[in-house]
Amino acid sequence: MNVEERMALVLRNTEELVTEEELRTLLTEKEEPTAYIGFEPSGLVHLGWVLVAQKIRDLTDAGFKVTIFWADWHAYINDKLGGDLENIRTCAKYMEDCFIALGVPRDRVEFKYASQMVSEVEYWETVIKVAKVTSLSRVKRAMTIMGRSEDEAEVDSSKLFYPILQATDIFCMGMDVAYAGLDQRRAHMLARDAADKLGWKKPIALHTPLLPGLKGGNRMNPAEAKMSKSDPNSSINIHDDRESIAKKMKKAFCPPERESEDENPVLMLCRYVILPRNGELFVDRPEKYGGPVTYRTYEEITEAYFGGSLSPVDLKSGVSDGLAKTLEPVAEYFREHPENHEALVEVLKGIGKLR
């Protein structure tokens, strides 16, 4: 595979790359570059992870060694799962299962915990160095990466450590590429800025889009409108069955105007989940409404939808079927390996997050 083919894999369904020139140089000079994505273990997994799993596969196919980083101490700072580290680590084991169930190649990724690094004095030396070249106002602006506003730093000063720790993770693991959803952009830019000031290797930043919640997107603030497990009526859990998916999909925001395309969660599910995973969208509709039809590109779907030959009802039905097909391997995996999922469910019940 040549450099351009590897570039195409990395860039597929990508929202932003900082910078393309740096990536091309990396792929030219390094046979097996490194990339990482970090997660707070914080609960059950939703459909946004399908997009992430696909990008991890793209990266491994492009020759990257990918680290999936369980930010257990970061989740503790962010008060996740009752602020209990054992609960957080139980969740990380479940999330590892989720990635394997979604097709991430176990032999081409490494799973690593923040707690494996924070015991090293070199880690905290790096924390101090990054903090010394980063202003307090920059740190507070970056707090949106953890779903917090700048003002919340006044409530709990530990929150101020979070963006610095996230940048430090990248440097201590020596990563070539920092990958995340677009909501993590400020942390990556903070790390790049610190690297410039300290004369360190600057991480390339790769960002994929955020799936909008089923209630609709917000082009001006996609982070607020993203699919989130905190709103079960606006998100689809990877454990949802066909009936549950269809019930939620019926209420999904699906405007007919092309100018609202990026805010349409049903179309975004086609673009970033169904087509990459299934290769097509099949709509099984009655003959009186045009009969069954198969779309193999996103452009075909939008042309039919905005042209009026594909109704919102039929689009939602096809998407429900497509998502159920996408998630069949997940259901099969957890039927065979239920332990970590069941352990997390008990944790969630214990802290009042599930009935």
What integer pLDDT is reported at residue 354 of this predicted model? 82
Token readout for 63 is: 């020759």
Question: Residue 331, exposed/middle/buried by CB under 10 A (0-12, 13-18, 19+)?
Answer: middle
CA angle 314/326/252 to nearest 5° reads: 40
What integer pLDDT is reported at residue 218 of this predicted model? 61
CA distances to 89, 146, 197, 213 from 239, rounded to whole Å, are: 20, 25, 45, 17
Name the amino acid, one letter, at 3: V
Among 207, 287, 268, 149, smallest CA distance to 15 is for 207
Q: Which CATH architecture has domain 222-350?
A: Orthogonal Bundle (1.10)
User: Is the dihedral angle over the CA atoms 80, 83, 87, 93 positive or is it negative?
Assistant: positive
What integer pLDDT is reported at residue 154 of this predicted model? 56
Residues 281-315 as b or e (16 or more Cβ within 10 Å = b): bebebeeeeeeebebeebebbbebbeeeebbbebb
Pairing of strands 109-113, 177-181: unpaired
Please determine whether the domains at 3-208 and 222-350 fall in the same fold group of CATH. no
Return the domain boundaries, the chain: 3-208, 222-350
3-state SS of 287-343 is: HHHCCCEEECCHHHHHHHHHHCCCCHHHHHHHHHHHHHHHHHHHHHHHHHCCHHHHH
pLDDT tens per residue across all 355 residues of the chain: 899 999 999 999 999 999 999 999 999 999 999 999 999 999 999 999 999 999 999 999 999 999 999 999 999 999 999 999 999 999 999 999 999 999 999 999 999 999 999 999 999 999 999 999 999 999 988 988 777 655 654 567 888 899 999 999 999 999 999 999 999 999 999 999 999 999 999 999 999 999 999 998 565 565 567 888 778 778 999 999 999 999 999 999 999 999 889 899 999 999 999 999 999 999 999 998 899 999 999 999 999 999 999 999 999 999 999 999 999 999 999 999 999 999 999 999 999 988 6
What integer pLDDT is reported at residue 130 of this predicted model? 98
Task: For domain 3-208, say whether CATH 3.90.930.12 is its number.
Answer: no
What integer pLDDT is reported at residue 231 of this predicted model? 80
Q: Is the separation of the CB atoms in 172 and 124 below 8 Å?
A: no
Token readout for 36 is: 């990482």
